[in-house]
A and B are shown apart, each in its own frame.
Chain A
């Protein structure tokens, strides 16, 4: 999908974006190539586009109608650029007349910058890698272009211990790269030079992580380094022959100490210690909490925006940046159809704004409600209540934005238009109130996995997550690690409890299964699933849709309208399929498939398979673009594609702690008339029973009395 143009409009407008520059890059040249189009009725003597970098104007162009589309380039002085995030600002001044008054929002006042054809170009070389454990975050830096990290192990094929240590180390890498994509390579330690502290070969243009016991590392490091491995050990070294790259050694005297070192690496997320090496004595963790990486909103709770990380903010101007905050909803939240999340906003807005000024409330980019700001004299709102159906939210992170649209009270040609007063403030003591809900979810649903890692992350430390590798191939191992890294990113904390195995799990876990193609789905884990190994593959193809349930004619249909389920969020439009059994397989595509564990009914299994190399497919799948598209229980995608295909083929099942009350709630929320009928039926029964008991009491105690109606 092509991104929208950067649009500048009205008499004056601006657009800001920021770009990162990593600490490890030394920029020698920077250039902005700009491809823009503007209105062809602009007056060139007064219309211009200006570019500023970090607050300094670096270029400007007069906008001529006869040259409405232009491609220009501009050198940016490297000394203006800062390590970290830099601001690039486009400012426009657009006029359609030289002498007369202008309507400030005249539609012909526009200019657009093509975001694909425009680019920032940098020439850089790598600085020497900072050899301090305090600088781990600048080594695994999300501002770097996509990196590939090589993991070197002593053995040619990793055993299960290596698999788990590698998985934990990859989580540490992934969490440091944050959202930035990265690649993995798996290699074996191979001796090289006999000089220097490190005496093994490192892949070119790769940062390297070595995981090995001291005894297995002996020939690959100098005796001095080996001597310093007196316990769980983390050591940073420049890559032999390439000081811009680094080697991180995670080691120890035995397997337990290596594991402790890897754990320490996974958790160390603060710039300490400022030393290239350290020996770990212990890593102590508090007991895990569900979704501990997020401030998850619990059912029935009330939270201030401050608690959710939002701080009081004001916005100025006609259409300033939105005020936004995030809510993390437990993915297995279940509430009646009409349960609502209630926002109580505390707002203030300035005087002198027109009645059509407003705040647009969006949830995950979808417009939900508007808060009108109609008082021309300004006002402050306490507890402005906005109730949003719970079903408008998705499991996991939800972004709530309030986009101000502020209109000056006085507008028109040849008038001074006051815009300084266009301001609105959202206070951080505003509150969010969650409805009462249960933890109850319907599976399989890959959208839950995509949004929040459910159910694999429910424990908070991955204790319920098992990753089963169907073969020991390198691409399968890397695919498993990449998936685990994605899960750790979703959790925002390392999943220490997660386990990777080549053999079936005998403990109670939700499983991710990776490796092999559809023809090799012979493992017992696939027993009973629609994709169980068979010489003939059965694929389903869409065959139209129908409304469910069909309406019978007559009075039953009329009654049925009342008693039928309130569809709510659940579409009554059902897809129909035709199943075709055939010999053709996946080809270059990969397949993901989620189903109920054949032996543990409350557990979920999600398998990812491909006929060829699985790792590139998993790497593509874990990119934000594809990952967020996952739905249903079966997906098919291929590396390089921007979309994936999905469908639902299995039978759903429920997990959670729902009791009779929840089941009733669920039923009555979908069939409100049943609730009404139940209420009145129970009322009548209760009244009849009470009447009977009262009569009996009267017969026993007052045989000579008669009831009166005072």
Chain B
């Protein structure tokens, strides 16, 4: 196939072949997307790609002048990277699989230790996870839950700064008290060495279960977590890992700011919904740091969790795969987690992933790992190389400017050749991305996310390349509340880029007049520049941070029937959405401020539950209106029932995923995204204008600047705003609302 792809033929033949291949791809999209058809689809795209690669290599890299040549090689390098990534990605995703669940009757349940590492997350976040963890459906005598608190290590308790030391002491006191009441074992250690991996490793000698569940402290497990994940490990003693998807119940900042959440697949749905099943085929599904069950014996054989890199999870999996252990991916959401709220937090998280994967690439390059088979090596290589995308993205954004602004010949080809080679290649890439990931990632999402990360991740990647030992584990900030809209402080590179790309249009117009013979190329380059411009505009929209006042994510409840009892008469209602703090009810209700009882049959526990509630909002309508309530649980049991009601049912997560994971087609997806981006960019501009006015005003009245993100404050809650914990700012230690865990003990 490579030989045929390398044969130079005329442009006419190439155009015929490309057109026929694209027609074949369009036809194959209508056939089942698996089996031989899937392979043929990828082969056809691969052939188009190889033809482009050979043409690009042997016919478009002329030497005119050193600057053009350097720019041309840089662009070529970025394209090579893209092509390599496509080929690796095609390999990884050629045959995604899911395993059949072993029969439960045969399972002899082994002892399980649940490790929940925490650093400085709010108590409220940790509490929900702990309650859900101890409530998992598993023989109680075989289940031990551990809170591994790195926020109150001995080193932090003896911090020279009295405020910090006091804060750590208070944290330890509150956490250990909470753990004591929930039956969770509280563990802390001497210092914070090796961050999360060190924290987990410190716990290993102190636990004895055959299996270990690792949960981030904001990853709330469903009740059936262990029932689903343990059987494969029991069935196959060489299995060291069962990884489940990270299902997030809050939007990431880009989704939130562009208003995309639950209207389209989340960005990480691609990884957990498509890539991990693909990796699983090659026995390369890896540990993602949480929502996974591991075998203690394997970990001990490995010397614990690996800590050479800041992504200890992938590193540990790589080591164990190299030792011959197997992994399995369970494509079923069994935890619900929180995304970082701000773009800064998001970038911090992604930069850590990028640094970790680059560290792994440098220090534990899969190609050099003994024990991995070829498929595993390539699969891991794919995951690591992906994080070099900032190079390619930056090059693709800036490359047209090299020609438009400086006249550098970055792509030595005529319009006919571009039509015969480049356009079919790009069309094939778009079709293939849509074919492989259309339901879990819409067109242009990768462009927006990766472009937005590039300028920040690039620095992190370069620094890691220069000093592979230097990156440190930075905990992703979560649980923040944003009280008002503001422009992200990370916006400046995008302003600069927008100006440059805008300048590119002027340069294109100038060249249009000066070099009439190059008009076709100028047009193409200007379109390319325009594409980058649109992406940056959409990025600006995403950088306009929208407020987020709720401390607890509100989730659809599927109109669960209930009764609201205020006074003596129960009123039938249905729960529209719910959080651990409150709910929105469809149906009649009382005046705000009145207290009552919400009675319902708990769908998981299958028992009648009564929750004390307070009406906090009322929106009447002819259909009965909506009523916002806040929960006031009076016991830990009631709180547990609420947590299970909100987070305990994995079927709800599957329903939510099924609703948002759909393929709407390439163009509608692009239109939708750009419309959202432009709308939000308009708000961004308007905010800038306001900022300008404010500045004018401040100069006169010394007013507050619009650019500083809010860090605390209590919001007024709209409908369904029974969100307990309102007023908790990031890092603040406080107890949950409604009841004092100190009042109760145990489950």
Question: Which A residues have a C-beta under 8 Å from some C-beta of B?
Answer: 302, 336-339, 374-375, 379-385, 387, 433, 435-436, 661, 664-665, 668-669, 672, 675-676, 678-680, 682-684, 686-688, 690-691, 694, 697-698, 701-702, 704-710
Contacts and interface: CB of A to CB of B under 8 A. Distances in A.
A707 B439 contact: no
A698 B10 contact: no
A698 B95 contact: yes
A218 B178 CA distance: 128
Query: Interface on chain B toward A: helix, strand, loop, or mixed SS?
Result: helix
A13 to B, nearest CB: 31
Contact of B274 (A672, A682, A710): A710
A521 B714 CA distance: 114
A676 B517 contact: no
Highest count of chain B CB atoms <10 Å: which of A336, A383, A678, A684:
A383
Interface in B688-740: none
B499 interface: no
B7 A665 contact: yes
Contacts of B40: 683-684, 687, 691
B98 interface: yes
Given A302-B62, A704-B100, A708-B34, A379 B516 contact: yes
B20 A709 contact: no
Nearest to B375: A697
Interface stretch (B11-19, B308-316, B343-351): B11-19
Q: Which of B39, B440, B516, B517 has the most CB of A within 10 A?
A: B517
A383 B62 CA distance: 12
Contacts of A697: 281, 375
Given A436-B58, A694-B39, 9 more contacts: A338-B12, A661-B3, A672-B13, A675-B17, A691-B36, A701-B283, A705-B99, A707-B96, A710-B436
Contacts of B517: 379, 381-385
Nearest to B273: A710
Contacts of A374: 516
Nearest to B101: A704
A664 B98 contact: no
Contacts of A669: 9-10
A336 B9 contact: yes
Contacts of B516: 374-375, 379, 381
B7 A664 contact: yes
A114 to B, nearest CB: 43
A665 B1 CA distance: 15
9 contacts: A337-B10, A381-B517, A382-B517, A682-B4, A684-B40, A698-B281, A705-B97, A706-B98, A710-B277
A193 B12 CA distance: 78
A338 B43 contact: no
A516 to B, nearest CB: 47
Among B7, B34, B100, B440, the most chain A Cβ lie within 10 Å of the Cβ of: B7
Contact of B7 (A338, A661, A698): A661
A435 B417 CA distance: 14
B608 to A, nearest CB: 39
Contact of B96 (A381, A675, A701, A710): A710
B514 interface: yes
B414 interface: yes
B137 interface: no
Interface string B57-70: 01000110000000
B409 interface: yes
B597 interface: no
Given A383-B518, A661-B7, A687 B12 contact: no
Contacts of A664: 7
A687 B97 contact: no
A124 B45 CA distance: 79
For the complex of A and B, 10 pairs with smallest distance between CB atoms: A338-B10, A710-B274, A709-B33, A687-B40, A705-B97, A672-B13, A691-B36, A381-B517, A384-B517, A687-B43
A43 B354 CA distance: 89
Nearest to A345: B517
A336 B12 CA distance: 12
Nearest to B20: A676
Given A676-B16, A680-B20, A694 B94 contact: yes
B9 A688 contact: no
B39 A691 contact: yes
Given A381-B517, A675-B13, A690 B43 contact: yes
A710 B440 contact: yes
Contact of B518 (A382, A676, A710): A382
B9 A707 contact: no
B648 to A, nearest CB: 26
A688 B36 contact: yes
A689 to B, nearest CB: 9
B318 to A, nearest CB: 18
A681 to B, nearest CB: 10
Given A684-B40, A687-B40, A387 B100 contact: no
A702 B99 contact: yes
Contacts of A338: 9-13
A672 B12 contact: yes
A702 B7 contact: no
A678 B9 CA distance: 13
Interface in B84-101: 94-100
A379 B514 contact: yes
Contact of A709 (B12, B16, B38, B62): B38
B59 to A, nearest CB: 8
Contacts of B63: 302
A338 B8 CA distance: 10
B89 to A, nearest CB: 13
A690 B37 CA distance: 11
A683 B47 contact: yes
A706 B97 contact: yes
Contacts of A675: 4, 7, 9, 13, 17
B331 A708 contact: yes
Interface string B26-39: 00000011111011
Contacts of B7: 661, 664-665, 668, 675
B300 to A, nearest CB: 25
Given A383-B409, A707-B97, A682 B1 contact: yes
A380 B34 contact: no
A680 B17 CA distance: 9
Nearest to B438: A710
B97 A672 contact: no
Nearest to A683: B43
A683 B44 contact: yes
A690 B94 CA distance: 10
Most chain A beta carbons < 10 A, residue from B1, B10, B17, B40: B10
B62 A710 contact: no
Contacts of A678: 4
B437 interface: yes
A386 B707 CA distance: 55
B67 to A, nearest CB: 14
B4 A709 contact: no
A244 B43 CA distance: 81
Contacts of B47: 679, 683
B163 interface: no
B660 to A, nearest CB: 14
Contacts of A686: 1, 43
A676 B36 contact: no
A710 B36 contact: no
Nearest to B99: A705
A710 B96 CA distance: 8
A707 B440 contact: no
Contacts of B8: 336, 339, 435-436, 665
Contacts of A691: 35-36, 39-40
Contacts of A382: 407, 515, 517-518
A706 B99 CA distance: 6
A706 B277 CA distance: 11
Contact of A708 (B16, B17, B97, B283): B97
A374 B277 CA distance: 59
Contacts of A676: 13, 16-17, 20
